[in-house]
Amino acid sequence: MNFDLTSLQPLLVLSCLALILGGAAAVRPRVAEGISWGLAAVSALMAVVIGLTPLGTRASVPWIPDWSVEWSLHITGLSRLFGLVVCGMGTFVFAYASRYLRDYERRGECIGLLAAFMVSMLGVVLAADLVTLFVAWELTSVTSFLLIGIERERESARRAAVQAFVVTGAGALAMLAGFVMIYQVAGTWRLDQIPDLSSHPSTPWIVGLVALGAMAKSAQVPFQFWLPSAMEAPTPVSAYLHSATMVKAGVFLLLTLGPILGKSLAWTPILATVGCLTALAGAHLAWQADDLKRILAGTTVSSLGLMVALVGLSKQLATGAVLVFLLGHCLYKGALFMVAGNFTFISGEKKASRLSGLGRAYPLLWASALVAELGLAGFGPVLAFVGKEVAFKAAPLSMLIALAVASPMLVACAWRLAFAPFLGPTPTGARPLPLAMLLPPVLLGAMSLAGGFAPTAIQSWLIDPVVGPGLKRFSVIPELDAALLATLLALGVGIWLALKTRPTNAVTLAERAYGSVVAWLRQTGESVRATTQDKPVRKRVLTVILVATTVLAIGFLADPSMVWPDLQLPTVPVLLVATLIFGGAVATVFAPTRISGIVSLGVTGLGLALLFLLMGAPDLAMTQLTVEIVTVVIFVLVFHHLPRIGYHATRSIRMRDAVAALVLAGFLTLALLSVTGRPDLARSAEFYAANSMPLALGKNVVNTIIVDFRAMDTLGEITVLAAAALGVTSLFGKSLAHKEEA
């Protein structure tokens, strides 16, 4: 175990504290508001710890030494920047949620899941190896799924949660395949030990798989449709997960693997093309939307597309532009989501076109909205403008054209949200805005302004440790060049679009395609169910036998060579037990009653227990004996109340079933003999016998295999049994409830 106790231990302690507080909020919703303030303080402390921890600090716990697999964290320039984003935004979101969720029915559950998400996201950005990164990546997907669908009584929330989980989960599986290929090529999971793989023949496949995972997580084309649907979640969730942090995990992944894969011929074409298309698609999505959060979701998709396209350039200036724009985007987009939440809190309205007259009653809210909209429009003395100017300087002509087309639509969205909700007569019945909901967007806007006026300090502290020295100093004062001309042109065209056009709320092509795929899967599942399940049990079993026989036959045809084991003549007791087992099986088939069939079946089980005992495995014999006794008792108790067996099948059907069973049994016997004859199995047995005591500290080889060497399999089996028990319990509960109602 290798821990730097002086630096990362406080961060780990604070993470555990955040999880404990989140659990307390979920269990005791009445104290959720106070716990939310506590989590805001913990998030701020985490940000301080990450900011003060020296670069290069590492903590690791090996858990599969033979595979070099370990849980490990480290602090690099990139992980520090993203860690500050996660914890800094967490501070504002928890403070905002403390009041926004006060009257929310599931406030405790929501705050608890937000705490779990924050720790999971920290695991992603601080991961020092691919295994830790993947596990934390999936935890963010799970918490996001639960948060999007937290209002589970609404069908739209359930559908959006499933949609987000399916898309990001499918991308994660592709990413996992890419990680495995990286391990096979590099021989290590540790990120700091993986060499440059750009020239390896497998790199194009790795790039494609990793890019799929990042594209799904960061809502890139063709997966951009899931992010607007995720706006079903409460506003603090949207501000934290689907604007500032989780959706940027894909950008983080690409930046992390850029030094390893960035020189590949497939890197730039894939990322630049997808990023430009996403920037256009997201801008169009936001421009034609009227729902406040869907507008902001569309602009987030467009901004993520810009970041991915710049990452694909693999240049120092482009990487610097990504990082500074990412920081600016977190500040203004987090503020905008909170402003949108305040709109809904004040008026109960979620449509931008129905809002007006809030400027006089809420001047500070309007000021924070104006500053945030400057960042969205990419103009003015804000940090996002600095990043956008640098991005335009780093972009080649083809990318610049795509961004120039997308920018006016973003400007139009900014104009609509900055003025229309605030101008006009003051509406009646508006609610007062609590200070806890007003201060977070105001402070985020102030930080955006401060970053715009001091980009050099941010560059020296956060950007240079990632991209290295030599990058030209950033400045809020634009140069008279093509980038400034493109910005001014986008500003003018965007204002014209805002004044002359109206939202259409059209459904995107990608969203319709997803709906078609889901509908096709449902129809296919229904047809398969009708084909395989709407039959008597005899036919279903016959179908299983035929499929298994076909698979075995294909396996033998694909590899006809069979290695026969060195079979030795068994001893007389073993032959007698084998005869007993065979006789019990035959008696079970021809048993005239269920009770006699159960007894005959029990004879076969007892025979197997005797066989294990004769082979020197008393623990297996005891397990088999216990299971057999319990099974026989349950069968007797259940089947005693059923009618007598009636043989309704004709002779031809019985002959058919017998032939099918004998063919499958023959193939299974051949397969077992072939597997038994493999020489590598002997090496496996030698490994377990030799390492049972040194590695697992157990003398019983079978037990150490179950609980140590194959512990994950055992955990999976326990999980399945627990899930089955919960399902049965719920069914019994529903049955009893129905009986009481009757």
Could you tell me if residue 576 is inside a domain?
Answer: no
Quick: pLDDT tens for 57-71: 888 776 665 556 778
Nearest Cα to Cα of residue 239 among 354, 339, 307: 339
Does residue 645 register a pLDDT over 70?
no
Using pLDDT thresholds of 50, 70 and 90, give the confidence band for residue 83.
Answer: very high
Judgement on whether residues 513 and 424 belong to the same structural domain of the protein: no
Judgement on whether residues 352 and 455 belong to the same structural domain of the protein: yes
Burial of 592 (0-12, 13-18, 19+ CB in 10 A): exposed
**Range 371-398 average pLDDT:** 89
Judgement on whether residues 483 and 518 belong to the same structural domain of the protein: no
For 239, the token pair is 């501000």
Query: Residue 1: its pLDDT value, please?
Result: 40
Query: Residue 648: its pLDDT value, please?
Result: 65
Quick: pLDDT tens for 322-364: 999 999 999 999 999 999 999 988 888 888 888 888 888 899 9
Judgement on whether residues 151 and 289 belong to the same structural domain of the protein: no
**Range 24-46 average pLDDT:** 93
Nearest Cα to Cα of residue 235 among 393, 437, 370, 482: 437
Does residue 482 register a pLDDT over 80?
no
Could you tell me if residue 220 is inside a domain?
Answer: no
Judgement on whether residues 14 and 61 belong to the same structural domain of the protein: yes
Could you tell me if residue 477 is inside a domain?
Answer: yes
Q: Which helix (H) or strand (E) holds 73?
A: strand 69-74
Query: Residue 364: its pLDDT value, please?
Result: 92
Could you tell me if residue 566 is inside a domain?
Answer: no
Judgement on whether residues 302 and 367 belong to the same structural domain of the protein: yes
Could you tell me if residue 639 is inside a domain?
Answer: no
Judgement on whether residues 387 and 314 belong to the same structural domain of the protein: yes
Query: Residue 740: its pLDDT value, please?
Result: 47
Q: Which helix (H) or strand (E) holds 71?
A: strand 69-74
State how many domains the chain has: 3
Using pLDDT thresholds of 50, 70 and 90, give the confidence band for residue 597.
Answer: confident
What amino acid is encoded at 15 in this protein? S
Q: Which of 43-52, 239-248, 602-611 has the highest mean pLDDT?
A: 43-52
Phi, psi of 127 (to 5 degrees): -65, 135
What contacts 626, CB < 8 A, 6 or more positions away?
none
Judgement on whether residues 361 and 273 belong to the same structural domain of the protein: yes
Using pLDDT thresholds of 50, 70 and 90, give the confidence band for residue 679.
Answer: low
CA-CA distance, 308 to 319, in Å (whole number)? 10
Q: Is the dihedral of CA 610, 611, 617, 620 positive or negative?
A: negative
Judgement on whether residues 345 and 481 belong to the same structural domain of the protein: yes
Could you tell me if residue 445 is inside a domain?
Answer: yes
Query: Residue 403: its pLDDT value, please?
Result: 84
Of residues 4 and 559, more confidently modeled: 559
Query: Residue 620: its pLDDT value, please?
Result: 78
What amino acid is encoded at 569 in this protein? L
Does residue 722 register a pLDDT over 90?
no
Could you tell me if residue 193 is inside a domain?
Answer: no
Domain that holds residue 511: 504-534
What amino acid is encoded at 661 in this protein? A
Quick: pLDDT tens for 494-547: 888 888 877 776 666 667 777 788 788 888 888 877 777 767 777 788 888 888
Judgement on whether residues 237 and 353 belong to the same structural domain of the protein: no
Could you tell me if residue 488 is inside a domain?
Answer: yes
Judgement on whether residues 460 and 520 belong to the same structural domain of the protein: no
Judgement on whether residues 301 and 370 belong to the same structural domain of the protein: yes
Using pLDDT thresholds of 50, 70 and 90, give the confidence band for residue 2.
Answer: very low
pTM: predicted TM-score of the whole model, two decimal places: 0.80
Q: State percent of the chain over pLDDT 70.
A: 92
CB 464 within 8 A of CB 457: no
Query: Residue 426: its pLDDT value, please?
Result: 76
